[in-house]
Chains A and B, each alone.
Chain A
Amino acid sequence: MKFERRRYLTQNIAKILIWMAALSTMAVMALIVFQVLWEGLPVLSLSFFLDSPRSMGREGGIFSTIVGTFALTIVAILFATPLGVGTAIFLWEYTREGRISRTIRFGIGCLAGVPSIIFGLFGFVFFVIYLNMGWSILSGGLTMAALILPTIISATEEALKAIPYSFREVSYSLGGTKWQTVTRAVIPSALPGIFTGIILGICRSIEETAVVILTAGSSLLIPTSLFSPVRTMSVHFYILSREGISMEMAYGTGAALILLVLIVNTVANWLLSRYVRKKA
């Protein structure tokens, strides 16, 4: 009887603790988002999005930083996706578990743990100085691609692992070559997982700051080519608040950033569920 009561008590305490853990996580997230939106939303207006910054960002809008964010992210994704997906396919479909694949995986793991400022420094030394690409969309995008590569590789690899071996066997048994099997029987089913990895990469490069400052510069001009320097929204936010230019505009930028990430995720989820529904 006593034991029964203790069991009941333990059960209830555990339930309360777990609820508290989940609720406090939610609370912290809600608080951050709420604070930024509370301060930033009043600043947002159509002209805030469509005007370029004036007098260091104290006035005007954030148009050029939105362009910068998109340009940098697109370049990063264009480089990182084929490389990352290719590496994952190599690791999972083309090599047996062995020294080579273990070494590559170890390298990817290390890469994922390297602080972004180190990536920034590498990009600065290698792309900006050594390859003489200067502070530019290209330098920034390439460095960012290196930064998000591990995310895309592991997401793709997880997605490939989840595809039953039998799909591959069916494809081979119908006379498929390895390449046909990978591209026709495996990848279509793994696409949602790969896509999730790419979305994580997009969000990461939208929010990243250190890499951009060191490799893409902080120009407020609208870029004209891949070799133009740019400032992304995150960097704009950082400079506005750090250098005390305008807290008001900083919060406005922050709110716009949060909205952008929300939109990207919502659209991605919608596309994903549509794709999955179409297949089922």
Chain B
Amino acid sequence: MSTGNKIAVKDFNFYYGSIQALQMINLDIKANEIFAILGPARSGKTTFLKSLNRLTDLVHGASHTGTILLDGEDIYAPRISLTQLRRRVGIVFDLPIPLPVSIYENVAYGPKLSNKTQKKYLDEIIEKALRSAFLWDEVKDRLHTSALRLSGGQQQRLCISRILALDPEVLLLDEPCSGLDPISTASIEETLSRLKKEYTIILVPHNIQQASRVADRVGFLLEGKLVEEGPAFEIFTRPKNKKTEDYISGKFG
């Protein structure tokens, strides 16, 4: 990208029925950066992530105004293929949701949807995806056992590999460490920092410390409004907005 903007959000409003969840969001996200979205509960973080790959379409009564551009292309345009978009913009949810099949089948689920069923090909991308999420060494001897037997941290890394197997461009991570112990959290954070070389990552961290450890830039959402955004260092040391400062210093949240 010549401009370096992977995603451009312009005047974006989002509604669940008559309730407005996002208000006038304007935000550019650069390629190969980790952008962290901070904010208290119910501030619209998850809605924002899900509107980036239109998972919000599944909610009955949802509507929006404004545009979101991915590589300069409006993702809400009628000619956009939803399944294609969701492959390019992959999401990992706050709780690991392995499907009740084997580790192998979990990672193969996405590629198989687009009819890539050749075993040799699948074996290759599955190994690559599991390696990228730093799970391969732990599971390579039991690929065909149930994914439900993995620990919480392993399950979440499995969910990341499941997305990586689709070779996406953008990764959306919604509090990917919320159910995890500190060791698993550390391994996922390490994973993220390495993945950013290849992907654009938008992360809702599960606490402020996590954002300060991994994020390049940070945005602060409050009641559906993007209060402030900027380089992580600046937001954490010299927030311009009083509310951001209060949130970061732990006065509310």
Contacts and interface: CB of A to CB of B under 8 A. Distances in A.
Residue with the greatest number of chain B CB neighbours at <10 A, chosen from A96, A169, A170, A180: A170
A174 B86 contact: yes
Interface residues of A, number: 21
B162 to A, nearest CB: 7
Interface residues of B, number: 27
A175 B84 contact: yes
Interface string B69-107: 000000000000001101100110101010111000000
A58 B112 CA distance: 61
A188 interface: yes
Contacts of A279: 100-101, 146
B55 to A, nearest CB: 6
B60 interface: yes
B24 interface: no
A166 B101 contact: no
Given A174-B166, A175-B83, A180 B113 contact: yes
Contacts of A171: 99, 109, 113
11 contacts: A164-B97, A168-B58, A170-B93, A171-B109, A171-B113, A173-B53, A173-B86, A174-B86, A175-B166, A184-B109, A280-B146
B114 interface: yes
A79 interface: no
Interface string A158-199: 000000101111111111110010001100110000000000
Contacts of A96: 60
B142 to A, nearest CB: 14
Given A173-B91, A184-B109, 8 more contacts: A167-B97, A169-B58, A169-B93, A170-B93, A172-B58, A173-B86, A175-B114, A185-B99
Contacts of B95: 166
Q: Which 10 A-B pairs have the closest CB atoms?
A: A174-B110, A175-B83, A175-B87, A166-B97, A175-B86, A173-B91, A176-B113, A170-B97, A279-B100, A180-B113
A277 to B, nearest CB: 10
Contact of B99 (A170, A172, A175, A280): A170
Contact of B113 (A164, A174, A188, A189): A174
A189 B100 contact: yes
Nearest to A277: B146
B87 A174 contact: yes
A193 B177 CA distance: 33
Nearest to B106: A170
A96 B61 CA distance: 12
B92 to A, nearest CB: 9
A150 to B, nearest CB: 28
